[in-house]
Amino acid sequence: MISNDTFERAAASIAALSREQLTSKIKNFNGRFRLDFTDDYLKNLTVDRLRHVLLAATINARPRN
């Protein structure tokens, strides 16, 4: 489980990103697993959903203590 401070920093950082930045980070995600979304799928998601996807991936890609 990540600390509250780490979660809040990640959430604040992701909340400040534009749609284009979110899409780019999702497409180039470098974590323990690969994200594989089509451009069409990402284009049809809301900005809030893109943020949710990136935040969930970021949190789950961290090593577990």
Q: How far apart are CA 10 and CA 2, in angstroms?
A: 11
Q: How far apart are CA 16 and CA 12, in angstroms?
A: 6
For the chain, the domains span 4-61
Q: Tens digit of pLDDT for each residue in 52-61?
A: 999 999 999 8
Say what the alpha-carbon torsion angle 42, 28, 53, 63 is, to the nearest 10 degrees. Answer: 170
Going by C-alpha positions, the residue among 33, 39, 31, 41 that lies closest to residue 10 is: 31
Evaluate if pTM is beyond 0.85.
yes
Q: Tens digit of pLDDT for each residue in 4-44?
A: 888 899 999 999 999 999 999 999 999 889 999 999 999 99
